[in-house]
Amino acid sequence: LTPDEARKAGMNPQMFNSFLDGTKSAIEMVAIANACGLDVPETGLGFPPCGVDHLAHVLRPRDLGGQLDRRGMAETVSSLERDGRPVFRDLRWGVYVVLEAPNDYAAQCFRQYGLPTDDTGRFAAMYKPFHLIGLELSISVLSAALRGEPTGATREMRGTVAAVAKRDLKAGEMLDGEGGYTVWGRAAPVAAARDALPIGLAHRVSLVRDVAAGQVVRFSDVQVDPEDGIVKLYQGLIAA
């Protein structure tokens, strides 16, 4: 898009900046992890470069030659190689899922039905080269309203998105939330980030102490009202 097209569409520059600094991907993948019972990488999303033809090779466990620490993890692929070159047949606009066959019959079906698989034939990928974002939202709304059926049913909170300092921050500075100048959101397992300030609460809150660039901002680093309804709800969720 050109700057003029973005202005005419009423696009929010700060929101779209969160697409580029990794925050949006972290929020989406943590939502998927919490809805589907998946794990979140301990060090955040890795964004391995990958096109549609190699999803099943890349998004499998490391002990099998892939990029995941273990089975059942959420991850996002990058549409750019590490040197900045575009990935061949990238999924910049798309969505995907990688499946592991639970038995030999399922693995045979992967091959028979033409799904792209890894070299073992046990992992297969399904993808769409596009997604319609808000235009698809009505499916979830109608499913919930007419059939009482959720799109995702969270059994436990597996991950969160921790606010991380983009630069050295000083006490007294005001955080400006996702896509801003002060923090970005990094996916993290809840068990390792219970005291981390979530990116969703990192907007218009003041720091009470310095936070170095690259460090997680913690609840103890900011001035928040412990009786605020949203703060109490979040802390109740991560304590469960």
- Return the pLDDT at 2: 83
Residue 1 has pLDDT above 80, yes or no: no
Q: Tell me how far the alpha carbon of residue 225 is from its chain's centroid.
A: 27
DSSP 126: E
Domains contained in the chain, CATH given: 38-136 (no CATH), 159-239 (3.90.1210.10)
Q: Express each pLDDT in 199-215 by its tens digit.
A: 999 999 999 999 999 99
Side-chain-side CA neighbours of 137 within 13 Å: the count stands at 3
Q: Where are the alpha helices (DSSP H) in the chain?
A: 3-8, 13-20, 23-36, 55-58, 104-112, 137-147, 229-239
Which distant-in-sequence residues (6+ apart) come within 8 Å of 45 by Cβ?
22, 25, 26, 29, 74, 75, 76, 186, 187
Q: Tell me how far apart the alpha carbons of residues 35 and 240 are, in angstroms, rounded to a whole number.
A: 16
pLDDT of residue 90 exceeding 90, the answer is yes
- What per-residue confidence (pLDDT) applies to 8? 86
pLDDT beyond 90 at 81: yes
Task: Note the maximum CA span of the chain.
Answer: 61
> 138: Cβ–Cβ under 8 A, 6 or more apart, which residues?
none
Nearest to 140 by CA among 128, 150, 130, 153: 150
- SS3 assignment, position 179: coil
Convert the pLDDT of each residue in 125-153 to its tens digit. 999 999 888 888 899 999 999 999 998 88
Q: What residues contact 184, with CB distance under 8 A and at least 6 apart?
A: 18, 21, 22, 23, 163, 164, 166, 178, 199
pLDDT (tens digit per residue) in 7-18: 888 888 888 788
Burial of 47 (0-12, 13-18, 19+ CB in 10 A): middle
For the chain, the first-to-last Cα distance in angstroms comes to 44
